[in-house]
Chain A
Amino acid sequence: TQLLEQSPQFLSIQEGENLTVYCNSSSVFSSLQWYRQEPGEGPVLLVTVVTGGEVKKLKRLTFQFGDARKDSSLHITAAQPGDTGLYLCAGESGGSYIPTFGRGTSLIVHP
């Protein structure tokens, strides 16, 4: 059973469109992170959210942590081809040292 469920699994859009990626769980997370992975490379951290209801913005990317700290979303405004990649959410639950990753959302933005 996957602790963190991401949706959609795949997304193919045109440049300029908006999109939202979701990360959901039945567990409460003390913190949740979003990573982006480009082909042939390791994931790179985009943001960490810690407080329930928290909203963070990174240029055209908006990240939100649910009030109950069980879910998160990533919204991209006016997507660009450079946004293409695999978006992964990851979290730490219950004080464990073991991080949990979702299966990822593969995004392709066509010029």
Chain B
Amino acid sequence: NAGVTQTPKFQVLKTGQSMTLQCAQDMNHNSMYWYRQDPGMGLRLIYYSASEGTTDKGEVPNGYNVSRLNKREFSLRLESAAPSQTSVYFCASSEIRGGDTQYFGPGTRLTVL
């Protein structure tokens, strides 16, 4: 079982470039989440998908878009990257809801110059 996988693991972008972070889970979970983690800030929710076909904003959605491609895959897109988006991005999934155990991917370390 791979659990939650994320690609890429590392990425450097220039300001204004775009990119998509990919996430996939093989646990047949309904809910998927995108977080960013910055020093001293813990994990902040960007977007989540409670079920296939639905997406909702979290705490810090500005500058991001998401797609729940199917039950397995949930992608995060930065249309025009900014230095403030330099962070570590984690994808997670849970069986049904936020209070269930969340399983996290290994993270994507993004630097925007």
Contacts and interface: CB of A to CB of B under 8 A. Distances in A.
B107 A104 contact: no
B41 A99 contact: no
Interface in A9-61: 9, 30-31, 33, 35, 40-45, 48
Interface string B37-51: 000111111001010
B90 A42 contact: yes
Contacts of A30: 99
B98 A96 contact: yes
Interface hub of A43, A48, A88 (most chain B Cβ within 10 A) = A43
A9 B41 CA distance: 10
A74 B90 CA distance: 24
B31 interface: yes
Contact of B42 (A44, A45, A103): A103
Interface hub of A31, A41, A98, A104 (most chain B Cβ within 10 A) = A98
A41 B3 CA distance: 13
B1 to A, nearest CB: 15
B98 A97 contact: yes
Nearest to A50: B99
Q: Report the interface size class on chain B.
A: 20 to 34
B101 interface: yes
Interface in B30-71: 31, 33, 35, 40-45, 48, 50, 56, 58
B92 interface: yes
Given A33-B99, A41-B107, A43-B102, 17 more contacts: A2-B42, A9-B40, A30-B99, A33-B102, A35-B102, A40-B106, A42-B90, A90-B102, A92-B98, A97-B31, A97-B50, A97-B97, A98-B58, A99-B45, A99-B94, A101-B43, A101-B45
5 contacts: A43-B90, A97-B48, A99-B33, A99-B94, A103-B40
